[in-house]
A = this chain, B = another copy of it.
């Protein structure tokens, strides 16, 4: 299809599509003349993925890394997850105390070497932020976090499609980042439901 048709199909304007092409987020179409190119279903699908990532607040640079991971998948789903996480986890060169993070994640079944250091650093950074704000997760709440999140991750990993590497890549990369807003929004609803039941509804 022509770029105008790709635009009509996906609801993304032609200038925006051209911007994604320039930024290397969307692969070039097949040249049919020096000034025209033709695009396929894969472009329409990729456009939807790009929009979803950018709408979720992922930066253009991170989106490019996610797209690279989709285009160059490692052979093993476990390595794939590391690649996906590396793409979407801010690295940062801040000084972090990893010891507390490592102790915490043993509660998830973690053992040394079991996950990428970027992801461990993200835990350390989150703990650091809480400490700076003087906020302590109550001692009886933390084990519930660890237990519930391990259950979530087990269900997600069990759900990785085994039929094709393409399907597995898309599931792992998109599932890691796009599901986050859903989980956070569900948590807020659940907090209000639980609080309503505990403290009584108003009105």
Q: Is the CB of A108 within 8 A of B55?
A: no
- Enumerate chain B residues within 8 angstroms of A55, measured Cβ to Cβ: 129, 132
CA distance A76 to B196 in the complex (A): 10
Contact of A174 among B133, B158, B181 (CB under 8 A): B133
Task: Contacts A152-B190, A195-B77 given; indicate if A134 touches B48 (C-beta within 8 A).
Answer: yes
Q: Is the interface of A mostly helix, strand, loop or mixed?
A: helix
- Interface range for A: 35 or more
Q: Is the CB of A195 within 8 A of B81?
A: yes
CA distance A48 to B135 in the complex (A): 10
- Could you pull out 15 A-B pairs where Cβ atoms are within 8 angstroms? A108-B189, A109-B190, A109-B194, A109-B197, A110-B189, A122-B188, A123-B186, A125-B181, A130-B182, A140-B155, A141-B156, A144-B151, A149-B187, A149-B190, A157-B191
Is A150 located at the chain interface by the 8 A CB criterion? yes
Contact of A194 among B122, B133, B146, B157 (CB under 8 A): B157
Is A153 located at the chain interface by the 8 A CB criterion? yes
Q: Is the CB of B183 within 8 A of A81?
A: no
Q: Scan A145-188; emit 1 where CB is below 8 A from any B CB, else 0.
A: 11111111111111110000000001100111011111111111
Give this chain's copy count: 2
Q: Is the CB of A114 within 8 A of B201?
A: yes
Please indicate which of the listed interface residues A45, A78, A157, A191 has the most CB atoms of chain B within 10 Å of its own CB.
Answer: A191
Task: Contacts A152-B144, A195-B157 given; indicate if A78 touches B200 (C-beta within 8 A).
Answer: yes
Question: 12 other contacts beyond A52-B129, A52-B130, A140-B158, with CB at 8 A cut-off?
Answer: A55-B129, A78-B201, A79-B202, A81-B192, A119-B192, A120-B189, A126-B185, A129-B181, A130-B182, A148-B152, A149-B190, A184-B184
Is A51 located at the chain interface by the 8 A CB criterion? yes
Closest to A44 in B: B134
